[in-house]
Structures are given as C-alpha cells and as structure tokens.
C-alpha cells in the first residue's frame, strides 16, 4: 500500500503558517520584558518596571554600518516623542574594550545608551544580528521585533509601530 501523497508545497505552507502563528502568539502573549541595566551616563533602566511608557530598545554597534545609518531616525523620533511617552535605550553590542568609542559616538544622540556588559538581556531578546529594534507597549510586553521585518528603522515605521501604542492607556 502506498502512503498518501501530500504535495511538499502544501506541507511547507502548513508548517510555515503554524510557525507564524506560534511566533505571533509568542510576541503578543510574552511576559513583560526584563531587560534592565545601567546606561553609560550611570542611570538605571528596567523595561518591565518603566512607568507606563512605550519603550524602544535598539541593539547596535559602532562597527555596524546599518546600525549607524538608522540612528538619526531613532534619535529624531525620540526627540519628537519623548514628552508624549516614548522612552528609548540603545544597547551597544561592541566589545567592552571599545567603551570609549561607544561613548564618543553616543555623544551625538539624545537618547540613553548602554553597553551590553552593563545590561541584563534575557536570551529571547539577545540579538544574533544587528541592528535589532524591539518596541514594548506601556504594559511592558513586546509589541514589535525588527528581526521579523527586513530593512532599517525609519521615522515613518516607528510612527506606525509606536503611535498606536502611545494612544493606549497607561498603567
């Protein structure tokens, strides 16, 4: 007796659909973030315990040209929306020996910058590529993960992602 034939394309589409649903559910149902640490200015931060703000966490490095290319958009967005409830921290994934280089580059930004060595980053949030931008809602839950969307972050993209989150009621 011959095994039933299932076209490979249908099988792959079914698996991808299932995986997509699992990934989407995991993002929406994830527990509040626990990324926390200290910025290069010495201030502490904790995404989970932030005071009902929308938090953007960007992982970058000084040697990463795409990271550096998207920084002006992140900085402009932060400046324009900080008073409305946006918080941001850029976490440098540079080698700890490059701390002075990170400080020099970060001097041009208005948002806080931290060195990865000074930050607790749970495995699910630790990037395997750069740049990566995560956006957390006022409830501390992950709402956007740039690893699932190709391209660099732009102000327009941040408006589409964070704008509706700003409109949600705070804690």
105 assigned to some structural domain: yes
Residue 88 falls within a domain, yes or no?
yes
Q: What is the pLDDT of residues 20-62, one digit of tens each?
A: 333 333 344 356 668 999 999 999 999 887 668 999 999 999 9
Q: Above 60 in pLDDT, residue 3?
A: no
Beta bridge partner(s), residue 37: 45, 119
Is residue 13 one of the residues assigned to a domain? no
Nearest to residue 30, comparing CAs of 170, 146, 145? 145
Q: Let me know if residue 91 belongs to a domain.
A: yes
How far CA 160 is from CA of 30, 79, 80, 163, in Å, comes to 21, 17, 14, 6
Distance CA 94, CA 19 (A): 32
Does 26 fall in a domain? no
Interval 59-96: pLDDT, tens: 999 999 999 999 999 999 999 999 999 999 999 999 99
CATH code of residue 41: 3.40.30.10
Domain that holds residue 74: 32-167
| pLDDT value, residue 15 | 37
Structural domains of the chain, count? 1
C-alpha to C-alpha distance for 57 and 120, rounded to whole angstroms: 13
Tokens of 70: 């998207």
- The reported pLDDT for the residue numbered 69 is 96
Cα–Cα distance, 16 to 21 (Å, whole number):
8
Please, what is the average pLDDT of the chain? 83
Q: What is the pLDDT of residue 125?
A: 93
| Helix, strand, coil percentages, rounded to 5, for the chain | 40, 20, 40
């Amino acid at each position: 007796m011959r095994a039933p034939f299932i076209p490979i394309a249908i099988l792959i589409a079914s698996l991808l659909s299932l995986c997509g649903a699992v990934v989407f559910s995991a993002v929406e149902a994830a527990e509040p973030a626990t990324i926390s640490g200290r910025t290069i200015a010495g201030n502490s931060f904790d995404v989970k315990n932030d005071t009902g703000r929308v938090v953007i966490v960007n992982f970058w490095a000084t040697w990463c040209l795409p990271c550096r290319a998207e920084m002006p958009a992140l900085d402009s967005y932060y400046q324009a929306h900080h008073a409305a409830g946006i918080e941001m921290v850029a976490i440098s994934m540079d080698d700890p020996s490059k701390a002075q280089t990170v400080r020099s580059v970060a001097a041009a930004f208005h948002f806080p910058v931290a060195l990865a060595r000074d930050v607790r980053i749970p495995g699910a949030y630790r990037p395997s590529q750069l740049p990566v931008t995560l956006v957390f809602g006022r409830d501390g839950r992950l709402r956007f993960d740039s690893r699932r969307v190709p391209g660099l972050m732009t102000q327009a993209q941040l408006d589409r992602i964070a704008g509706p989150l700003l409109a949600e009621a705070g804690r």
